[in-house]
Amino acid sequence: MTDETSVHGDETSTIEDAGQQALGGEDAAGTSTRSTTTEDDQSLDAQGDAAADYIEALLDICDLDGDIDIDVQNDRPYVSVSAEDPEALRLLSRAETVSALQELARLAVQSKTGAFSRLILDIGGSRDARKQELAVLVDRAIDRLEQGAAQAALPPMSSYERKIVHDVVADRGFSSHSVGEASERHTVITRA
């Protein structure tokens, strides 16, 4: 187990608190009135729909053609935008742009549904490309460990990217944990 789980424990409880407020929470006796999984799934679908509406309007404003797919992955709404011509989405699929649009889409979802969203936005396969880049970073860090380093630190990245890194590190048979605060939070890899 990594520190990621314990560090994000506060964030998780905040997310759950927001979800409970939106979906029922507890009654005066402290008994949970939280909705069933089906209702949670419907909430995730509604978040995906709201995000897709926002992204579709943005594409219309930019006069760009794109196909929007909505899914739920790892208990998160996942909205992906693709196009027959990858060049059509080239500017929007840059990592910084995708992150900014994801935050705007999350705000649009919150405005429409009243619920905090952990939505993931993928434009033109940018998430898969980034996952491959992160795997290369992990492999380089592991090479440093195999050459005798006690630990290898990766650059700061988002919680979503750190989660991907933790999964890749575990698949490679090593350990990882997150350290640092806010924008300086990064992953450190060590031997298992």
pLDDT at 24: 38
What is residue 152's three-state secondary structure?
strand
Q: Which amino acid is at 187?
A: T
Q: Where does the pLDDT of residue 21 fall: very low under 50, low under 70, confident under 90, or very high at 90 and above? A: very low
pLDDT at 32: 37
Domains plus CATH for the chain? 10-124 (3.30.300.20), 129-191 (3.30.1370.50)
pTM of the model: 0.68
pLDDT at 38: 58
pLDDT at 105: 97
Q: Where does the pLDDT of residue 39 fall: very low under 50, low under 70, confident under 90, or very high at 90 and above? A: low
Q: What DSSP character marks residue 184?
A: G
Q: Which amino acid is at 2?
A: T
